[in-house]
Structure 1
């Protein structure tokens, strides 16, 4: 099965710019489209506006020029659900006084839903933490804490998952393991994912597309299709195809650094 996705539009930006009140130009002339079922990674140097663009895709910010469109507003709802968005941040941001299960069920409580032990258990099973439901964050490794954060996002059953460098602080072995687990979940559940990372290798392994951004001001430099077969595994990481794609993204980033 190819990882290429040709679903309906989820988000489109045309000629979008973002200038802050102090005159800082964060983004300029951004054209990007995200389609249903894609896994799109945003890469680029620090200060290129990756996280700003991610927040705009979430509807948490507006551009100061250009046009942005979201599926439920302009394209029609996906299925019957419309956009169900979940956001995973750089830090796990868990409540230290609450158990893993209580941390995972937080979105249900905040939205006024009744506690649902079955949903909590399902989310924990997705990330392999069902045996740690009664543990506290201080008792978990960094990788396990990030799994809790992902489970907390998944309990809402999103169809759009936005992730802002969630594995950036982890060691390489843990990061590679979580990459594999995330990809397996995406292949099974087919969310739309937009993923911010500084890692070329991570972006190529995970994505159907890698969008390379240049800084000062932030803009899209390249949009590289990763048309590799799924499921991907450690064998893919060792393949000539993977290394060629990594080189392609690296060369684009090198251009971004001097523009």
Structure 2
């Protein structure tokens, strides 16, 4: 679907609509059921995990609340857990030494999620890609085994520079094919033109501190793009339909 500059304004309207609905809704006790019958968390909100690299970690965001992952959950009315590690990937070890596979093992045994988004990673461009499909499938299988009731969505890499590096395009192709083989939903920021020459300077902070990562405006934009896709995939879990807030 096309992504336009209007997303930056729409996200604020969506968040406001969710907040207004929450203010008018009575608090419930105990677990509740979504429209599709699944049991939700004790406060009645679907539980979202966004798992990924420095983009998910919000490396260039001014606060944890301004990360795209947190804003996505806020827009959808979902209880959100964010697990990002700078430099991490399916193959590449991050700043704390973790790959996606080793980090999966660190998640709390008591965690439970309705939707899991696994993002990235451009960091894998630093490694030989021959084993990427196998590593990714092992991670996805691990999440499916650990959280059998969760819907898993794979969010591919987004470009940090333009034109898109050839190896990042290759990562996107490998992950898209592997996700299709595993029967998983794959969202491709490359194929969907999330970041283009027209919006690059707004989305990406190219300063020394930003290091070609999304700034606050970029995180807001990415959050709206992801919230749109998740709302379309799981309409029964959305407190306020994203389209209704437009």
Q: Is the shorter-chain TM-score for this pair beyond 0.5, marking a shared fold?
A: no
Instruction: Find the structure with the greater CA-based Rg.
Output: 1
For normalisation by structure 1, the TM-score amounts to 0.32
